[in-house]
Amino acid sequence: MRNMSRSRLIATAALLTVVSVTGTACSSDSGSTSAGDDSGTYTVWDPYPQFDKSSDWAKLLDDCGTEAGVKIKRTAYDTSDLSNKALLAAQQDNSADVLIVDNPVVSTLAEAGVLTTTDENKLDTSAVDANLLAAGQSEGKTYGTPIGANTLALYYNKGVLEQAGVDISSVKDWKSLTAALEKVTKAGKKGITFSAIGTEEGSFQFLPWFWGSGAELTDLGSDRAVSALSLWRDWLEKGFAPNSVINNTQTTSWQEFASGDYAFAENGTWQLANAEKVGFDYGVLPIPGVNGGSAAAPTGGEFVTVPVQGDTGRYATSRKLVSCLTSTKNLYSTATTLSYVAPTGDVQGRQVAQDPGLKPWVDAVKAAKGRTSDDLGTRYPTISEQLWKAVQSALSGAQSPKDALAKAQSAVK
């Protein structure tokens, strides 16, 4: 087992709070939530407390256990609690056999010595799209495999655009998008809504524009980064986006779009069910880069990982469980249950064949990028915090985009 100091694990726990979401923990089995003290029982920890033991997800876990010849003891936590429980369990050499965690957390747990690499656990990830797998890589090593992905795109109200005389096919880059927003506001409607709140959600929503400018997270103060933040600031100043974006979560931003007054809203695949209830015709457009093409939006979704065990003989069965959960046979139903785009081309093709409306989302996921990619690892939470502070400062008028991002870069260094 890797050596892990208590101080290092505590520091890692502090970093994980930056990218966490609150919720409730539950277990599908009674008794202790400690890792497998019974060689015939394998523990699985996941961040899906919304699914009880009667759900398709819980049944899949049990089926995979049966296939591997073991019993599954599943415990579901909210995202932040799960991360901290994983760190504590690792310190006590009592980790779950299979751990499913939000993808930005993977490199942080890996650097803390909590997870095995795919070389160590022999997990085959060859079918996974490289850009999605990168979210679980650190220093050239891969830790686990994605169970699915979501990302951001632009929902648009067809009626609002038609009324303003905007042809959606003309929206291909920042200039044409801004021109469309101008037409919409002149027609008496509202332009675009998004979330720029001072949390990870704000960074998450800003990243497609940041990356779409060609900027890199290792240089927050670059001219390209300034151009992205200036785009958002200009939209607010011209009335193309509401001042409410400064405090909007992705949920409140969606509620604004659902009112029917907005032409565009930046949001994710998780709103698809709600989109069917808005009462107007909508479409989906990948977020454009500054000069066209699809911008890289950040990937959401979880990785299935195998934590370090004192008894390395457990890895063989853990690999069978992970392979079952992420097999081509099971990924389609899992992606549907979790509202994800599958991480492999074969299953993505099946999803689009079943629902052509998913095509823009598959395209967006194929262009997406992990927040911790580029070997940012545990540096990402610090960078993200300074990024959302810069966005808040610029949009509120406290600083210019250039000064706000220069301050952010200085703080990161």
Does the pLDDT at position 219 exceed 60? yes
Rg (CA), the chain: 22
pLDDT at 27: 40
Mean pLDDT to the nearest integer, 112-137: 95
Select from 165, 171, 174, 19 the least CA-distant residue to 83: 19
What does the alpha-carbon distance between residue 32 and residue 46 come to, in Å, rounded to a whole number? 16
Mean pLDDT to the nearest integer, 11-27: 42
Does the pLDDT at position 5 exceed 70? no
Domain ranges of the chain: 6-149+300-366, 152-297+376-412
Segment 256-274, tens digit of pLDDT:
999 999 999 999 998 998 9
Are the CB atoms for 76 and 26 separated by under 8 Å? yes
Beta carbons within 8 Å of 6's beta carbon, 6+ residues apart: 91
Q: Would 6-149+300-366 and 152-297+376-412 be classified into the same CATH topology?
A: yes
φ/ψ of residue 264, rounded to 5: -135, 155
User: pLDDT higher for 12 or 84?
Assistant: 84
CATH superfamily to which 152-297+376-412 belongs: Periplasmic binding protein-like II (3.40.190.10)
pLDDT at 237: 98
CATH architecture of 6-149+300-366: 3-Layer(aba) Sandwich (3.40)
Confidence bin at 34 (pLDDT 50/70/90):
very low
pLDDT at 81: 86
Q: Output the pTM of the full model.
A: 0.83
**Mean pLDDT estimate for the chain:** 90
pLDDT at 15: 46
What does the alpha-carbon distance between residue 208 and residue 124 come to, in Å, rounded to a whole number? 30
Segment 381-408, tens digit of pLDDT:
899 999 999 999 999 999 999 999 999 9
What does the alpha-carbon distance between residue 144 and residue 119 come to, in Å, rounded to a whole number? 10
Does the pLDDT at position 22 exceed 50? no
User: pLDDT higher for 372 or 180?
Assistant: 180
Sign, Cα dihedral of 332, 21, 145, 36: negative
pLDDT at 403: 98
Confidence bin at 23 (pLDDT 50/70/90):
very low
Burial class for 108, CB neighbours closer than 10 Å (0-12, 13-18, 19+): buried
User: pLDDT higher for 315 or 2?
Assistant: 315
Does the pLDDT at position 79 exceed 70? yes
Instruction: For strands 98-102 and 41-46, give the pairing.
Output: parallel
